[in-house]
Amino acid sequence: MSVRVALFGTKFMGKAHSQAYRNVNMYFSDAPEVEMAVLVGRDPRETEEARKTFGWQEASTDWKAVMQRDDVDVVDISTPGHMHAEMAVEAARNGKHIICEKPLANTLPEAERMLIAAENAGVKHFLMHNYRRCPAVAMAKRMIDDGRLGRVFHFRARYLQDWAMSPELPRLWRFDKEASGSGALGDLGAHIIDLGRYLCGEISEVCAATETFITERPALDGEGKKPVTVDDAVVMCVRFAEGAIGTLEATRFAAGRKNHNTFEINGSKGSVVFDLENLNNLQYYSTDDDIDAQGFRTIICCASTHPYGGHWWPDGHIIGYEHTFTHSVYDFLKGMESGHRVRPDFEDGVLNQKVLDATEKAAETRAWVKTD
């Protein structure tokens, strides 16, 4: 089986997704072969340069024409959020299977429209929450499902960055609600919301506070300043449907934190701790250990017995951030081949969006808001 892909996006996510397709062809012999057919961007020169750098066969600036091509099987949407819904609906209309970057959309109605379009068209759909496919995160999921943590009481997550702290940083699209949907909430918070749902079940209720620390930024055209219309930081308390409670924090104003994505889960029989900046390791505490030997131990999740471990290097040889995208693409392609559902998909995207929407409402009203 061979799959021809069109990728929409030439910046950071485009680079990450391109690397994933190359890696699948190189390291995953049991996956369908990927033909990197078309790279789509807005600027002809930049798109052509990215095509050469990333290794795509063609470059295009006409995204609608690419959607209609009979020789494209999969559409990969790695654009700013305000473009997701229109592109996904058009892809579904043309019978293309769809990979979409997170969050699924800028609003709940858009996300629901994308899900309905994909389901009605009968195409496969996948949401690129790549952190689910860190081997250590997948190992934590296995341990929870196996009952090794017992009843889960707490989910505690943080996603911290510092790149937005300078007031001289221009008003990029990520500071514009119409383009991005939200700020740190959607950019970073969406990831830990998805991890919370993946590991601990559905989030049923939320209360929250958001803050915008820099309310104006230099306009991109150099003409004065423009208002920032998104949050810079968010703090959430959540209740899970299965009884656990959680705290989630996301900010782009944590000095010294470049990509600090971490969670801790506490249960009746033990705990696990994950930190993306040490992504090959999972910290595990078990109450079943002898009392004089209890303590957190480090599981290096790089063995053939760990999720995805057998596809890379000999046991103990670590992997990196880009491999999470490779694992995601691999699973999606295997799902296409087998016909099985691969998550997170657009249904998960809608459920995540409900939590994002509830968080914004909770911050506005300063009250608990249900997600249903």
Rounded Cα distance, 310 and 304, in Å: 4
Question: 94-135 pLDDT, tens per residue?
Answer: 999 999 999 999 999 999 999 999 999 999 999 999 999 999
187 and 308 share one domain:
yes
Q: Is the peptide bond before 103 cis (omega within 30 degrees of 0)?
A: yes
What confidence category does residue 77 fall into, taking pLDDT thresholds of 50, 70 and 90? very high
Question: 305-358 pLDDT, tens per residue?
Answer: 999 988 899 999 999 999 999 999 999 999 999 999 999 999 999 999 999 999
Q: Rounded to an integer, what is the distance from CA 344 to the centroid of its chain? A: 9
Q: Whole-model pTM?
A: 0.97
Domain boundary at 110, 131, 152, which?
Answer: 131
- Whether 191 and 249 have beta carbons less than 8 Å apart is answered as no
Question: Which residue type sits at 86?
Answer: E
What confidence category does residue 246 fall into, taking pLDDT thresholds of 50, 70 and 90? very high
Please name the residue ranges forming H helices in the chain.
12-27, 44-54, 63-67, 84-93, 108-121, 135-145, 177-180, 184, 190-200, 322-338, 346-365
Question: 170-187 pLDDT, tens per residue?
Answer: 999 999 999 999 999 999
Q: Is residue 360 part of a domain?
A: yes
- % helix, strand, coil for the chain, step of 5: 40, 25, 35
- Whether 17 and 76 have beta carbons less than 8 Å apart is answered as yes
Q: Is residue 56 part of a domain?
A: yes
89 and 23 share one domain:
yes
Using alpha carbons, select from 98, 50, 103 the residue that is nearest to residue 76: 98
71 and 209 share one domain:
no
Query: Three-class SS of residue 366?
Result: coil
What confidence category does residue 209 fall into, taking pLDDT thresholds of 50, 70 and 90? very high
Question: 32-58 pLDDT, tens per residue?
Answer: 999 999 999 999 999 999 999 999 999
Q: Is residue 284 part of a domain?
A: yes
Q: Is residue 347 part of a domain?
A: yes
* The predicted structure's pLDDT at residue 310: 85
Look up the CATH number of the domain holding residue 348: 3.30.360.10
Q: Is residue 109 part of a domain?
A: yes
Number of domains in the chain: 2
Domain boundary at 90, 115, 131, which?
Answer: 131
59 and 166 share one domain:
no
Domain boundary at 89, 111, 131, which?
Answer: 131
Rounded Cα distance, 19 and 26, in Å: 10
Rounded Cα distance, 60 and 232, in Å: 34
209 and 189 share one domain:
yes
pLDDT at 60 over 90: yes
31 and 13 share one domain:
yes
123 and 137 share one domain:
no
126 and 250 share one domain:
no
* The predicted structure's pLDDT at residue 90: 98
Using alpha carbons, select from 134, 130, 135 the residue that is nearest to residue 306: 135
186 and 215 share one domain:
yes
Average pLDDT, the chain: 97
- Whether 349 and 191 have beta carbons less than 8 Å apart is answered as no
Q: Is residue 370 part of a domain?
A: no
- Whether 296 and 283 have beta carbons less than 8 Å apart is answered as yes
* The predicted structure's pLDDT at residue 335: 97
- Whether 181 and 192 have beta carbons less than 8 Å apart is answered as no
Q: Rounded to an integer, what is the distance from CA 304 to the centroid of its chain? A: 25
Pairing of strands 260-267, 245-251: unpaired
138 and 197 share one domain:
yes
Question: Cβ neighbours of residue 242 under 8 Å, at least 6 residues apart?
Answer: 152, 200, 201, 202
Cα angle vertex 343, ends 128, 204, to 5°? 95
Rounded Cα distance, 323 and 20, in Å: 7
Question: 300-314 pLDDT, tens per residue?
Answer: 999 999 999 888 999
Look up the CATH number of the domain holding residue 31: 3.40.50.720
95 and 174 share one domain:
no
Q: Is residue 371 part of a domain?
A: no
User: How many other C-beta atoms lie within 10 A of the C-beta of residue 297?
Assistant: 12
Q: Is residue 372 part of a domain?
A: no
Rounded Cα distance, 20 and 77, in Å: 14
124 and 144 share one domain:
no
Q: Which domain holds residue 36?
A: 2-131
